[in-house]
């Protein structure tokens, strides 16, 4: 009996030694709810797949809270190995001199398999420097698409299998829908800043700012107050007055989706990652999917959409063995099987061509119509300096300015030109403040 106990104790000690021998990798993230559970599942599967490294994932709140916590932890020399940062925090992370270990350098130093060309160009383009070096690891990327109510379209005498292609279509479809009594409003939208200004500009191949939309330096200026953007905001104001468009609120536009779910509005423009939510809430009607609309007379449109979501940044100040673990974990995260599973579960885009092709082989897109619209948008054309994304300091604050000025426009306090000129003027001051403090 004693011998058995001794053997059991020895086995327990050996097991403890093995678990302690694994190098711990810390990952701070902003994925709550079901997405957080799925993320934990990915981490658990990685930990089971090998015994050299143990990834420990910790939820730290919203994107802004997670980034703030990581910056504070770095100052206190208690930073995690990996932190998830939303796309508009890219400029801030890049300016954190001495804090970031760029992914391309990490993978090279660790001798890990890494090919930036394997990633979808519009995804990787957002997170590379002007020399084409990848700075952070894409994880959850989304892009805006158009959702429409097929039942309402049919009721209005429109073809339920044809989404509007142009803004001219959106206007004429909306008028037909409203005059027929099929729905009270034509369309609504989430994220005025992301969808109706940033993506609108990229989709029409128009510059968002100087220095390749801020990619070329922190001392950039905004430029999305051109004639086409002014025309579009003028139309949004006119369509709001006519009832064709209904404003869904600031930031993410929390009122936009409910207007679509209740069938008050026939169309909504929102993130591709909200697809699962749309399907779950559209119980009484069939959902159609389309690309973002464009103005037919704008040369070069449609170009490609730009992404939202977040990437994983590696922070300096850890041991070389931990970074080998981070590199190995990133290799696992980017594998076609893991990426395809995450994409199909979450509605985020697959970040690699291989993950997209695996989904095609599995028949996922055939069985789930519309699930590849976002992929088609961001891969429609090779990204240009105008359409690869944006990178400005203090851009989180600039998005609040965009919302304020759009509300001033709808409230009749400003014209579209005045509102967009004010966005640029106020935004440029915020960028200049950031540049001055990060020289």
d(CA 356, CA 362) in angstroms, rounded, equals 10
Dist CA 355 CA 243 (whole Å): 42
Exposed/middle/buried for residue 157 (C-beta within 10 Å: 0-12, 13-18, 19+): exposed
CATH code of the domain covering residue 161: 3.40.190.10
Domain-embedded: residue 408 = yes
Query: What is the domain extent for residue 103?
Result: 20-142+307-361
Note whether 318 and 355 are same-domain residues.
Answer: yes
How many helices (H) and strands (E) would you count in the chain? 21, 10
Instruction: Say how many domains are in the chain.
Output: 2
pLDDT recorded at residue 209 = 97
Distance CA 62, CA 236 (A): 30
157 and 132 co-located in one domain: no
Residue 2 inside a domain? The answer is no
- Whether residue 109 is found in the same domain as residue 91: yes
Are 286 and 424 found together in one domain? yes
Summarize pLDDT for 98-108 with one digit per residue, the tens.
899 999 999 99
**pLDDT tens by residue, 142-166:** 999 999 999 999 999 999 999 999 9
Q: Where are the alpha helices (DSSP H) in 58-193?
A: 63-75, 90-95, 103-110, 121-126, 150-155, 167-180, 192-193
Residues 184 and 70 placed together within one structural domain of the fold = no
Q: Does residue 39 lie within any of the structural domains?
A: yes
Is 252 among the domain residues? Answer: yes
Asked if residue 294 and residue 212 are part of one domain, the reply reads yes
Look up the pTM and report it: 0.86
Q: Are residues 248 and 311 in the same domain?
A: no
CB atoms within 10 A of CB 202: 31
Question: How large is the average pLDDT for residues 173-201?
Answer: 97
pLDDT at residue number 152: 98
When pLDDT is cut at 50, 70 and 90, the band that residue 20 belongs to is low
Task: Tell me if 377 is assigned to some domain.
Answer: no
Q: How far is CA 111 from the centre of its chain?
A: 29
313 and 300 housed in the same domain: no
Residues 171 and 265 in one domain: yes
Residue 280: asked if its preceding bond is cis (omega within 30°), the reply is: no
**Is residue 271 one of the residues assigned to a domain?**
yes
- In this structure, the answer to whether residues 128 and 166 fall within a common structural domain is no
Does one domain contain both 253 and 166? yes
The answer as to whether 371 is a domain residue is no
**Residue 370 maps to a domain:** no
pLDDT of residue 137 exceeding 50: yes
Domain match, 322 and 432 both: no
Residue 372 has pLDDT above 70, yes or no: yes
Supply the pLDDT for residue 3: 41
């Amino acid at each position: 009996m004693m011998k058995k106990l001794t053997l059991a104790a020895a086995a327990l000690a050996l097991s403890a030694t093995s678990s302690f021998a694994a190098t711990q990798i810390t990952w701070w993230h902003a994925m709550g709810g079901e997405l957080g559970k799925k993320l934990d599942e990915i981490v658990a599967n990685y930990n089971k797949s090998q015994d050299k490294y143990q990834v420990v994932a910790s939820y730290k709140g919203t994107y802004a809270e997670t980034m703030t916590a990581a910056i504070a932890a770095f100052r206190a020399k208690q930073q995690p190995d990996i932190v998830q940062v939303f796309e508009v925090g890219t400029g801030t992370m890049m300016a954190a001199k001495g804090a970031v270990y760029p992914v391309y350098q990490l993978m090279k130093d660790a001798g890990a398999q890494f090919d930036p060309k394997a990633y979808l160009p519009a995804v990787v383009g957002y997170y590379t420097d002007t020399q084409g070096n990848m700075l952070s690891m894409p994880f959850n990327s989304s892009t805006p698409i158009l959702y429409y109510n097929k039942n309402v379209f049919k009721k209005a005498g429109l073809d339920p299998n044809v989404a509007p292609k142009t803004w001219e279509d959106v206007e004429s479809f909306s008028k037909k829908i409203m005059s027929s009594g099929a729905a009270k409003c034509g369309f609504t939208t989430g994220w005025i800043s992301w969808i109706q200004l940033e993506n609108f500009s990229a989709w029409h191949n128009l510059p968002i700012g100087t220095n390749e939309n801020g990619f070329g330096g922190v001392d950039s200026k905004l430029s999305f107050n051109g004639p086409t953007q002014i025309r579009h905001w003028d139309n949004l104001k006119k369509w709001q007055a006519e009832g064709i468009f209904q404003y869904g609120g600031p930031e993410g536009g929390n009122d936009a989706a409910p207007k679509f779910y209740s069938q008050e509005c026939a169309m909504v423009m929102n993130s591709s990652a909200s697809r699962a939510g749309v399907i779950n809430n559209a119980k009484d009607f069939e959902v159609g999917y389309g690309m973002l609309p464009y103005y037919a007379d704008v040369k070069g449109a449609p170009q490609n959409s730009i992404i939202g979501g977040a990437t994983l940044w590696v922070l300096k100040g850890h041991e070389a063995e931990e970074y080998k673990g981070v590199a190995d974990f990133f290799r696992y995260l980017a594998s076609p099987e893991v990426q395809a599973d995450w994409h199909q579960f979450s509605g985020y885009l697959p970040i690699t061509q291989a993950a997209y092709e695996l989904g095609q082989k599995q028949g996922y897109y055939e069985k789930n119509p519309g699930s590849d619209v976002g992929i088609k948008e961001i891969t429609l054309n090779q990204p240009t300096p105008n359409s690869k994304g944006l990178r400005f300091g203090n851009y989180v604050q600039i998005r609040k300015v965009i919302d304020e000025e759009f509300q001033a426009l709808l409230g009749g306090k400003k014209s579209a030109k005045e509102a967009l000129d004010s966005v640029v003027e106020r935004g440029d001051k915020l960028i200049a403040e950031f540049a001055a403090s990060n020289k």
